[in-house]
Amino acid sequence: MSLRRLALASTASAGAALGAYVANDEGARRSARFWYNAAPVYARYRLVQARHRDLRRLGVPEWIGATLSDADADAAYDALHDAYAMKVRDLVYDMRGFYLKNAQLLSTRDDFVPRQYLSWCKDTQDSAPVEMRPGEAREIAERELASKGHTGVFEEWDENPLGVASIGQAHRAKLSKKYGGKTVVVKVQALGIERRFRADIRTCIDFCKLAMPQHVPPLEEIERQFMTEFDYCAEAENLEEVRSTVMPVWGKQVYIPAPHTELCTKQVLIMDEVPGKRLVDGIRDQFDAIARYNGTSVSDLEEKERENIASGSLKGRDAKQAAQYTKRVNTLLTFKHRLLLPIKLAYNTSPLRLVTGPVNCQPPPKLINLGALLQTLIDVHAYEIFETGVFNGDPHPGNIMLMPDGRLGLIDYGQVKRIDINARRAYAKLILAVAEGDAAECHKIVQSEKPDGFGAKSHNSDPEVTLKLSTFWNDRDTPDVTEGLNLQEFLDEMQARDPVIKAPDEMVMIARVSVLLRGMGNAFNIRLRMAEAWREDAEKLLMRTDPDYFLLPTNRAS
């Protein structure tokens, strides 16, 4: 056999082996599908970025026609969003797993995510397409419980899911009298989802190693944390622990459901039902009520609000300011209604009503005080992070309920992170350093070895880059921080100035909480600065554990 024929035969054999591997290994099939679909999309976006940013930085003159102006780049990006948003949605919904989890995170960033993607990302918070066939969730639950010796557990089962998440779905059920007869919520994990999730994260990490290396270290920490989400017995323990520490202090503001630990398995979690509606549904209902009261449509009302925000006439507030503003508006609306009601009633009993018709005498819908609700979330998560060291790393809107008694129901504790007192103290110092804009101190905390810092490393050890990244992840992402760049361009720029060698792993999940809470605020036109919002809690911790720290107010004053 000639060398050429041998080479061809070897190539064919290798290709056949690879094809057989991909065909028979689900993780490989999913990885191949991701690369096949994602690589061309990424390449087209990167091409626009290169023509808009990179070639201009290199000094390529415009007359050559290779570069793009700001306006041309915006138009090119918009065309790509139109071309790919629905294709990416279909791929995410079909593959689910880690891709659906990422869409949930992006759904909170109205300020960063293009509208074409945002419209469907928001649906992933609580209404992603059902993965299980009808009856499958109950079959899995009953089979899992039977393996622990529990039979005849359910008297009733609502086949319509209460919510569909990235790894499973939740159903309302009624326990049989043998098991107490309570109405409960049953979370059921989809079969094989853990294996798919692991494969998807590795695929994303491999992709980032080639295309966006700055994302690799935090992704690896997220991978470690997400793997705990697949044991519902562990989630039941998380619920018990957080409930026992949070409810005694915050029970008037929030409610955390109690798990039925004896009825939990690795794939099934049974917990008390939280009455009410999801936060996102409550906001939608409020918009619908306001639109009907004003004789308009929800879409018109939303468009008017977007225009007001864009024009600057509807100014952003922090959570406390927004809470006070909403309270004043509700008081004013009630006063106006009571003042005008006698006139309206008189008009409706007069002959004039025959000409123009009766006027609406119903009281105006009361606005949900989103500022107050968001402030509660900020305070509760600060308590978890600084006081107990056990916190929920996934507080997105789909995991928050509006209860009839005015409290917030917190329902998902699959991604609970535990940090020791050293990490809590270091993070408290970082919050003060970020709030003060102290680049040297911020850099010292982030890059000092544990237990004094977070043990991060970067190639150039640039304090200004450390301050910008720490501020971006833990405080705010305003133009003074991002230098007017979009999310990806900003992270690319920071990576170019000072490449990350090791990420501050203990900080990743706390930063995720900050990003999610800020994203929720941005969606409500509430602009949060988390360093200021958490400053008081950070100072309380340091007053107990390191009272001589130089950024504490008492020491700055002296």
pLDDT at 303: 66
Residue at a domain's end among 237, 256, 273: 273
Q: Are residues 23 and 43 in the same domain?
A: yes
Collect all residues with Cβ–Cβ distance below 8 Å to 358 and sequence separation of at least 6.
347, 348
- The single-letter code of the amino acid at 458 is S
Residue at a domain's end among 255, 273, 291: 273
Q: Which pairs with CB-CB distance under 8 Å and at least 24 residues apart come from 313-316?
A: 314/525, 316/525, 316/526, 316/527
Q: Are residues 387 and 525 in the same domain?
A: yes
Residue at 351 is within a domain: no
The radius of gyration of the chain from alpha carbons, rounded to an integer in Å, stands at 27
Lowest pLDDT segment from 65-74, 293-302, 368-377, 443-452 = 293-302
3-class DSSP state for residue 39? helix
Residue at 432 is within a domain: yes
Residue at 297 is within a domain: no
Tokens of 82: 């139109």
Helix then strand then coil, % of the chain, to nearest 5: 65, 10, 30
Q: Are residues 241 and 389 in the same domain?
A: no
Residue at a domain's end among 273, 290, 324: 273
Given a cut of 80, whether residue 299 has pLDDT beyond it is no
Label residue 20 by pLDDT band (50, 70, 90). Answer: very low
Most confident range, picked from 112-126, 163-177, 216-230: 163-177
Whole-Å CA distances, 304 to 34, 41, 107, 480: 38, 33, 21, 28
pLDDT at 336: 76
Residue at 339 is within a domain: no
With contact defined as beta carbons under 8 Å apart, do 442 and 463 qualify?
Answer: yes
Tokens of 324: 């006070």
**33 burial level (CB within 10 Å; 0-12, 13-18, 19+):** middle
3-class DSSP state for residue 175? strand
CA distance 287 to 500: 44
pLDDT at 502: 87
Q: How many domains does the chain have?
A: 3
Given a cut of 60, whether residue 16 has pLDDT beyond it is no
Higher pLDDT, 220 or 558: 220
Q: Are residues 47 and 144 in the same domain?
A: no
Helix (H) or strand (E) holding 271: strand 268-272
Given a cut of 60, whether residue 310 has pLDDT beyond it is no
- The single-letter code of the amino acid at 7 is A
Given a cut of 50, whether residue 10 has pLDDT beyond it is no
pLDDT tens for each residue of 97-122:
788 878 877 877 776 788 888 888 88
Q: Are residues 107 and 223 in the same domain?
A: no
First to last CA, the chain: 88
Residue at 356 is within a domain: no
Label residue 308 by pLDDT band (50, 70, 90). Answer: low
Comparing CA positions, the residue from 196, 207, 199, 193 lying closest to residue 37 is 207
CA distance 344 to 357: 12
pLDDT tens for each residue of 167-196:
888 999 999 999 999 999 999 998 888 888
Q: What is the pTM of this model?
A: 0.80
With contact defined as beta carbons under 8 Å apart, do 262 and 386 qualify?
Answer: no
What mean pLDDT, rounded, does the chain reach?
Answer: 85
CA distance 64 to 92: 39
pLDDT at 159: 93
Query: What are the start-end ranges of the E strands in 100-259?
Result: 154-157, 163-164, 168-175, 183-189, 254-255
CA distance 431 to 511: 11
Mean pLDDT of 301-305: 64
Q: Are residues 160 and 33 in the same domain?
A: no
CA distance 212 to 223: 17
Q: Are residues 70 and 109 in the same domain?
A: yes
Q: Are residues 228 and 252 in the same domain?
A: yes
- The single-letter code of the amino acid at 121 is C
Q: What count of residues does the chain have? A: 558
Q: Are residues 146 and 118 in the same domain?
A: no
Residue at 492 is within a domain: yes
Q: Are residues 141 and 113 in the same domain?
A: no
Query: What are the start-end ranges of the E strands in 411-521?
Result: 416-418, 457-458, 500-502
Higher pLDDT, 493 or 323: 493
Tokens of 269: 């979690």
pLDDT at 124: 78
Given a cut of 80, whether residue 325 has pLDDT beyond it is no
Q: Are residues 407 and 515 in the same domain?
A: yes
Given a cut of 80, whether residue 126 has pLDDT beyond it is no
Given a cut of 60, whether residue 19 has pLDDT beyond it is no
Residue at 407 is within a domain: yes
Tokens of 406: 């005015």
Q: Are residues 223 and 248 in the same domain?
A: yes
* Domain assignment of residue 229, given as a range: 136-273
Tokens of 450: 């544990």
CA distance 406 to 30: 44
Label residue 338 by pLDDT band (50, 70, 90). Answer: confident
Tokens of 78: 């918009």
Higher pLDDT, 44 or 360: 44
Given a cut of 70, whether residue 61 has pLDDT beyond it is yes
CA distance 45 to 52: 11
Higher pLDDT, 10 or 461: 461
Residue at 320 is within a domain: no
With contact defined as beta carbons under 8 Å apart, do 144 and 265 qualify?
Answer: yes
